[in-house]
């Protein structure tokens, strides 16, 4: 079967890796990702957001199914364009991708369908109302652009913003600059807790969840520094996380199932991957946001654990026959290697050495992200460079292996050594216990 994967990063490399042995793989990517290039029988280098050009390539190659990696082409209607030329997709239509691309749509869906796990929120289109609201609102808030901003638009009081007065100024900036494509801004209640991710396969009607994972957005060890695209993530062998109960996980999955039903009533049925970012609060899981795609790095935790062939899962998504999906009962740790200076002044253009053979020999895996293969070697582009993933019977075992594998990457790069370590995980457990007991 000819399958096209759209996207350029480590997430898409992990998708390709999960599919490659069972399909004739094609890729459409904006950079020459060395990992994807090695797996694909053919690829085209081009802007993934030019959805008609992607559809043209798919038609020309006789593609029978497409899997869409990133959110931006989904927001531009890549699935509609591919379906119009007869290519079924693992990815939502432009209309149902609004669950990620339009945060006011998402919050309204929760309100209209009385879905659990929502937060107090307001959507604003003028400064007077923002100002009046924040002068009287007593809790700290989070300010979010309504549309896509590549993960860079959200600001939180106590983190990026000093207080709710500071939030006023930022909310005005978001609205005035039409950040994310909307002259609106969302202000939400800030929820305190531990963040976690559940990714799920969806066929429009049925939803099958994957093991939970926890990302580490801060650039530096000890959760210090700027928020990044994610510096690493881990998952545990029972599909839960060390600070989470089975009930917390099940409650979060129920929220996602209710969302899937609501989307089908409101717009086109949602087919593809639904990524739920939750905050585990004193009152259970609260939905922070949805993404209409796999997480990055979280895809690198769960995809290598798939026991059911990925192609069978993809076919079931497209056919609407999704049932059981099996995963290895193992823990996983992924660490992102990033350029020195990342995220604010990243080294770009430099060549790094990646001893892929040594990484694989010890049982770990490398997934290439924002690098390209040049004559001189693997070249940094300034964003996250590669994800190193390992599995084990315990998180500690996977972490040790991932850390050892990171030693086989040389150059002007760094990574967070603390992702998946016993001390950091204990900090998460203690934090959750403090929240529950106070």
Positions in the binding site for ligand GLY (CB under 6 A): 151, 215, 230, 291, 295-296, 298
Provide the 10 A C-beta neighbour count for residue 95. Answer: 17
Nearer to ligand GLY by Cβ, of 236 and 296: the residue is 296
Estimate the crossing angle of helix 246-266 against helix 103-112, to 10 degrees: 100
Cβ 383 to ligand GLY shortest distance, Å: 13
* C-beta of 12 vs 298, nearer to ligand GLY: 298
Closer Cβ to ligand GLY, 249 or 294, answer by number: 294
Shortest Cβ distance from residue 129 to ligand GLY (Å)? 29
Least distance to ligand GLY from the beta carbon of 289, Å? Answer: 9
Instruction: Supply 325's token pair.
Output: 């999906």
**Rounded-to-integer distance, Cα 78 and Cα 103, Å:** 20
**Nearest to ligand GLY of 117, 230 (CB atom):** 230
Residue 384, burial from CB neighbour count under 10 angstroms (0-12, 13-18, 19+): buried
Shortest gap between Cβ of 275 and ligand GLY (angstroms)?
A: 6
Position of minimal CB gap to ligand GLY: 295
- φ, ψ dihedrals at 256, nearest 5°: -65, -40
Q: CA–CA distance from 141 to each of 133, 146, 154, 158, 403 (Å)?
A: 11, 15, 11, 9, 36
Closer CB to ligand GLY, 296 or 418, in the complex = 296
- Name which of 227 and 264 has its Cβ closer to ligand GLY: 227
If one counts every other C-beta atom within 10 angstroms of the C-beta of residue 139, the result is 12
Shortest distance, position 346 Cβ to ligand GLY, whole Å: 18
Nearest-approach distance from CB 71 to ligand GLY, in angstroms: 8
CB of residue 106 vs ligand GLY: minimum separation in angstroms?
14
Q: Which token pair is 252?
A: 């979060």
CB atoms within 10 A of CB 128: 8
Cβ closest to ligand GLY, residue 298 vs residue 350: 298
């Amino acid at each position: 079967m000819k399958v096209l994967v759209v996207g350029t990063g480590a997430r898409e490399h992990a998708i390709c890796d999960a599919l490659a042995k069972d399909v004739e793989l094609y890729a459409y990517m904006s950079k020459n990702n060395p990992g994807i290039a090695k797996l694909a029988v053919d690829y085209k280098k081009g802007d993934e957001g030019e959805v008609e050009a992607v559809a043209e390539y798919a038609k020309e190659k006789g593609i029978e199914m497409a899997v869409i990696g990133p959110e931006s082409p989904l927001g531009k209607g890549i699935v509609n364009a591919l379906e119009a030329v007869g290519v079924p997709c693992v990815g939502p239509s432009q209309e149902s991708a609004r669950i990620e691309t339009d945060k006011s749509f998402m919050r309204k869906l929760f309100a209209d369908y009385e879905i659990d796990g929502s937060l107090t929120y307001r959507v604003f289109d003028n400064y007077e109302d923002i100002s009046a609201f924040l002068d009287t609102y007593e809790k700290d808030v989070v300010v979010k652009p309504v549309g896509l901003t590549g993960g860079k638009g959200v600001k939180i009081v106590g983190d990026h913003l000093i207080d709710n007065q500071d939030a006023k100024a930022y909310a005005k900036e978001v609205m005035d600059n039409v950040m994310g494509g909307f002259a609106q801004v969302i202000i939400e209640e800030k929820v305190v807790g531990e963040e976690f991710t559940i990714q799920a396969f969806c066929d429009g009607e049925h939803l099958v969840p994957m093991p939970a994972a926890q990302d580490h957005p801060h650039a530096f060890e000890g959760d210090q520094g700027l928020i990044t695209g994610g510096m690493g993530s881990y998952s545990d062998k029972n599909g839960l996380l060390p600070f989470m109960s089975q009930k917390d996980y099940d409650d979060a999955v129920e929220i996602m199932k209710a969302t899937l039903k609501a989307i089908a009533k409101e717009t086109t049925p949602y087919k593809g991957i639904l990524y739920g970012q939750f905050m585990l609060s004193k009152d259970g899981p609260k939905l922070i946001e949805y993404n209409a795609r796999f997480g990055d790095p979280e895809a690198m935790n769960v995809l290598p654990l798939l026991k059911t062939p990925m192609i069978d899962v993809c076919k079931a998504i497209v056919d609407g026959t999704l049932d059981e999906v099996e995963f290895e009962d193992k823990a996983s740790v992924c660490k992102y290697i990033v350029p020195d200076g990342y995220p604010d002044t990243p080294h770009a253009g430099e060549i790094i050495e990646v001893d892929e053979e040594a990484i694989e020999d010890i049982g770990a895996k490398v997934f290439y992200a924002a690098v390209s293969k040049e004559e001189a070697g693997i070249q940094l582009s300034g964003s996250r460079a590669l994800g190193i993933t390992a599995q084990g019977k315990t998180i500690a075992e996977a972490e040790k292996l991932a850390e050892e594998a990171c030693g086989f990457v040389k150059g002007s790069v760094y990574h967070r050594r603390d992702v998946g370590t016993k001390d950091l995980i204990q900090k998460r457990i203690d934090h959750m216990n403090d929240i529950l007991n106070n």
